[in-house]
Amino acid sequence: MYKACLRTSTVSVVQQNGLVPLFDYRIIGTVFKNQKIGTIFRFYIFVRYAKDRLYRLKTMYIFDIRINTWSTKQTKSSAQQYPCDREDDSFAFSTNTCYLSGGEDDVEFYTDIWKIDFESIEWCKLDYVG
C-alpha cells in the first residue's frame, strides 16, 4: 500500500500491521471518518477474492490510518439476508454508505441493489421497481 501526500507531492510505502488482506485483484473501498469514535479515519474494503469466496461480502477489512493496522469485522443483517458472492459487481460510496449492484456468478446475472452502513456494518437489500 502506498500513501500519496498532496502537500509535499511525495509517495511512500505504508507499513501494514495486523491481518493484512491478500490483494490479488482490484480493491474496492473508501476512507470513512467514523463520527461515533471521533476523528478516526479508516479505510474500509472488501477483498475481491477471499479464501472462502462464499463469505467475501460478510467480512469487511478495515485499515486504521493512525496506527497502520488492519482488522476485520463481520458484517451483519437484521433480516439475515446478505448479497450473494459475485464478480464484476459495482460499488458506489456516499458519506457513510456503500451501494452494491449487479455482477454475475457462474450461473446468474444479478440486478439486485444492496447498501451497507459503515457505522453499523449492516447490509440491507433495497427494493426498487425495475
pLDDT tens digits, residue range 48-90? 555 545 567 888 888 988 899 999 889 999 998 999 888 888 9
Count of domains for the chain: 1
Low-confidence winner among 3-7, 12-16, 115-119, 126-130 (lowest mean pLDDT): 126-130
Q: What is the mean pLDDT of residues 90-110?
A: 91
Q: What is the mean pLDDT of residues 90-108?
A: 90
Containing structural domain, residue 10: 2-126
| Residue 81: CA count within 13 A, CB half-sphere | 8
Query: Could you tell me if 71 and 82 are in contact, meaning their C-beta atoms sit under 8 angstroms apart?
Result: no
Nearest to 98 by CA among 79, 70, 120, 81: 120
Rounded to the nearest angstrom, the gap between the alpha carbon of residue 86 and the centroid of all alpha carbons in its chain is 14
The C-alpha cell of 55 is what? 463469505
The C-alpha cell of 21 is what? 488482506
What is the per-residue pLDDT for 30?
78
**Arithmetic mean of pLDDT over the chain:** 83
> What gap in Å lies between CA 67 and CA 16, rounded to an integer?
9
What is the per-residue pLDDT for 25?
65
pLDDT at 38 over 80: no
Give the residues across from 126 on adjacent strands: 113
- What is the C-alpha end-to-end distance of the chain, expressed in Å? 39
Structure confidence by residue, pLDDT tens digits, 106-122 = 899 999 999 999 889 99
> What gap in Å lies between CA 34 and CA 81, rounded to an integer?
25
